Amino acid sequence: MYAVIYVPEFYLQAMLRGDGRLEKRPVVLIDETAKKPVVLQLTAAARALGICEGMSSTQALARGMHVLIKPRSAARENAATDALLQCAYSFSPAIEATAEGVCTLDLAGLPNLQYDELGAEMLQRLGALNLQARVGIGENPWLALLAARAAGRENRESHECCRVVTDSMEFLNALPIDSIAPMIETLCILKKWGIHTVGQFVALGKEPLANRLGPEALELHERATASATRPLKLVRPPDTFEESVEFEHEIETIEPLLFVLRRFLEQLLLRLEMMYWVARELRLELQFESGAPYDKMFCVPAPTSNIETLFRMLHTHLETLRTEHPIVGLRLSATPGRSINHQFGLFESVLRDPNHFHETLARLGALLGADRVGTPVLEESYRADAFRMEPHEIRMTNDEIRRKREAAKTEIRFSALGIPSDFLICHLDFPRGPALHRFRPPIEAHVEVAKSRPIAIACTVVQGAIRDARGPWRSSGQWWDAGRWGRDEWDVQAVNGRFYRLCRQAQDWFVEGIYD
What are the angstrom distances between the C-alpha of 88 and each of 154, 243, 271, 487? 23, 19, 11, 70
Distance CA 515, CA 495 (A): 14
User: In angstroms, rounded to a whole number, what is the distance separating the alpha carbons of residues 170 and 482?
Assistant: 89
* Same domain for 6 and 137: yes
Is 381 a member of any domain?
no
pLDDT in tens, the chain (516 residues): 899 999 999 999 998 886 767 878 899 999 888 888 899 999 989 999 999 999 988 898 888 888 889 888 888 999 999 999 999 999 999 999 999 999 999 988 777 678 888 888 999 999 999 899 999 998 888 888 888 888 866 544 444 688 888 888 888 888 888 877 788 888 888 888 888 888 888 888 888 888 888 888 887 877 787 777 788 999 999 888 999 888 878 888 888 889 989 999 999 999 999 888 989 899 999 999 888 899 999 888 878 888 998 998 888 888 888 888 899 989 999 999 887 665 555 555 555 666 677 777 777 777 777 777 878 888 877 777 778 887 766 555 445 545 555 554 444 343 344 444 444 333 434 345 688 888 888 999 999 989 888 999 999 988 999 999 998 888 888 878 877 888 889 999 998 889 999 999 888 899 999 998
| Residue 9 to residue 123: CA distance in whole angstroms | 16
Residue 78 and residue 101 in one domain:
yes
Closest CA to 120 of 158, 157, 78: 158
User: CA separation (Å) from 84 to 60, 88, 177, 237?
Assistant: 30, 6, 29, 9
**Coil, helix or strand for 396?**
coil
- Comparing CA positions, the residue from 251, 226, 11 lying closest to residue 139 is 226
Does 297 map to a domain?
yes
Indicate which CATH number applies to the domain containing 294.
Answer: 3.30.1490.100
Burial class (CB in 10 A: 0-12, 13-18, 19+), 410: exposed
In a domain, 393, yes or no: no
- pLDDT of amino acid 348: 54
Is residue 450 assigned to a domain? Answer: yes
Domain match, 125 and 8 both: yes
Q: Does one domain contain both 143 and 246? A: no
In a domain, 426, yes or no: no
CATH of the domain at 100: 3.40.1170.60
pTM, two decimal places: 0.68
Report the pLDDT value the prediction gives residue 99, as an integer from 0 to 100.
Answer: 92
What pLDDT is stored for residue 343 in this prediction? Answer: 56
How far is the C-alpha of 307 from the C-alpha of 271, rounded, in Å? 13
C-alpha R_g of the chain: 37
Q: Is residue 235 part of a domain?
A: no
* 20, amino acid identity: G
Q: What is the pLDDT of residue 349?
A: 53
Using the 3D structure, point to which of 321, 337, 353 is the last residue of a domain.
337
Residue 357: inside a domain? no
CA distance 493 to 495: 7
Q: Are 182 and 218 in contact (CB under 8 A)?
A: no
CB-based contacts of 229, cutoff 8 Å, min separation 6: 139, 140, 141
Strand partners, 437: 514
Distance CA 217, CA 206 (A): 8
Report the distance separating Cα 318 and Cα 385, nearest Å.
34
Are 151 and 13 contained in the same domain? yes
pLDDT for the residue numbered 283: 93
Asked whether the beta carbons of 293 and 309 are under 8 A apart, the reply is: no
Domain that holds residue 56: 2-166
Nearest to 113 by CA among 233, 2, 266: 2
Domain count, the chain: 4
Residues 51, 154 within the same domain: yes
Closest C-alpha to 15, from 66, 79, 85, 103? 79
Same-domain status, 150 and 207: no
CB atoms within 10 A of CB 102: 19
| Any domain includes 8 | yes
Domain co-membership, 259 together with 204: no
Backbone angles phi, psi at 40, to 5 degrees: -95, -50
Q: Are residues 117 and 159 in the same domain?
A: yes
Indicate if 190 and 83 belong to the same structural domain.
no
Kindly state whether residues 35 and 132 are assigned to the same domain: yes
* 368, 369, 370, 375 alpha-carbon torsion, rounded to 10°: -40
Q: In terms of Cα–Cα distance, which of 126, 85, 91 is closest to 2?
A: 91
CA-nearest of 431, 432, 448, 428 to 492 is 448
Q: What is the distance between the alpha carbons of residues 85 and 275, in angstroms, rounded to a whole number?
A: 11
Amino acid at the residue 378: L
Beta strands 27-30 and 68-71 are parallel
Say what the pLDDT of residue 346 is: 56
Domain end (from 166, 200, 217): 166
Please state, in angstroms and rounded to a whole number, the distance separating the CA atoms of residues 446 and 462. 11
Report cis status (omega within 30 of 0) of the bond before 238: no
Residue 12 sits in the same domain as residue 54: yes
Q: Where are the alpha helices (DSSP H) in 103-243?
A: 115-128, 141-154, 168-173, 184-192, 198-203, 206-213, 215-225
- E strands of 360-477, at which residues? 375-378, 387-390, 436-450, 453-458, 463-477
Q: Of 337, 370, 401, which residue sits at a domain end?
A: 337
The rounded distance, in Å, linking the Cα atoms of 122 and 89 is 11
Put residue 49 in one of left, alpha, beta given phi > 0 → left and psi -120 to 50 → alpha: alpha
